[in-house]
Amino acid sequence: MGKTPPILLSNVGVRYNMRLKKKRTLRRSITQASRFDAQGHFWALRNINLEIQDGETVAVIGGNGAGKSTLLMTLAGILAPDDGSIAVYGSIATLLHVGAGFNDELNAEENILLVGAFLGVPTSVMRKKIPGILDFAEIGEFAKSEVRTYSSGMRARLGFAVATSVDPDVLLIDEVLSTGDASFRDKARDRILELMQKARAVVYVTHDLSSAKEFCTRSIELEGGKIIADGPARPIIDSYEKKMRGKLR
């Protein structure tokens, strides 16, 4: 096709200065000794080489502390790489966790505009999305009242509706596929699938291996901040599952 891949990471590394992060316990110092470099920096990601093509849905799996969230944040532009380079072609957005950026004192409409402002979406564009969002979330007359007064279900629906109102070229998902109550869940699933199909590439971080196998074409496994496996989703995830089950015994 000759089109540039939407995501290209070359030798990306992201490090944390452990003097700042007080999670440095003795146990970690020993078990994760290899991730500390000479200056005592902790490399959350190291030597990451990743190229994601059009149409790929990549599941990112791995244990806790493997670097999955760090990878997402780096893709989203929240963290800058301390090593290497990252190129993202096209707009990129994280499927927001429910209620991210919401302010309780504002009503539904105002919160939609606030989240839009956080995302950098022009107000005029966001305003046009408001009716669709309110409709999808089934907010009804509560649209004019403060979010403070909403039930948890309403909040979840509104949060989800706003989060999925984005239509990015590259979609990042961090464990958000199971939200809301059962009746809303089907609507939610369809919406997410729709987004995944529209996007040029999707990166899905999750512990939910069954959904990973269901939605994704490819999978990478992170361990100790490095990619230790990269290939078609099903086999990679299956062998990861086997490994995990082996560990539990």
Partner 1 sequence: MATASLRLTVGRPRRGPIGTIVETLRSIYQRRTLLLYLTMARVRQDGGSSLLGNLWLILDPAIQLAIYYFLVGIVLNRPQENFPLFLFAAILPWRWFTMALSSATESVRRHDKVMRQIAFPQIVLPLSAVAASTTSFFFGLIPLFSLYLVYPDRLTSWVLALPLVIAVQALWTLPFAIMFSALNVFLRDISSLVRHGLRLAFYVSPALFSFEKIQSVLAPYPPAHLILDLNPMAWILNAYRDLLYEGRSADWGALLAVALASIPFSLLSIYLFRRMSPSFVKVL
Say how far apart CA 67 and CA 51 lie, in whole Å.
17
Helix (H, G, I), strand (E, B) or coil at 29: helix
Q: Is 138 in the site for partner 1 (CB under 8 A)?
A: no
Name the token pair of 112: 């939609």
Residue 209 touches partner 1, criterion: CB under 8 A: no
Q: Which of 32, 47, 91, 239 binds partner 1 (CB under 8 A)?
A: 91
Mask: binding to partner 1, 42-71, rule CB under 8 A, as x and -?
A: ---------------------------x--
Tokens matching residue 169: 């070229």
Which listed residue (24, 63, 106, 209) binds partner 1 by CB under 8 A? 106
Listed residue (44, 60, 78, 14) closest to 229, CA to CA: 60
Tokens 């004192």 locate to: 105
| Rounded least distance, CB 46 to partner 1, Å | 14
Q: Which stretch binds partner 1 (CB under 8 A): 25-33, 79-87, 182-190, 194-202?
A: 79-87
Q: What letter does residue 107 receive in the DSSP assignment? A: B
**Does residue number 175 form part of the binding site for partner 1 (CB under 8 A)?**
no
Pairing type for strands 201-205 and 41-52 reads: unpaired
Look-up: residue for tokens 């809301």? 180
Binding site for partner 1 (CB under 8 A): 16-17, 20-21, 69, 73, 76-94, 96-97, 100-101, 103, 105-106, 110, 113-114, 117-123, 125, 146, 148, 166-168, 174
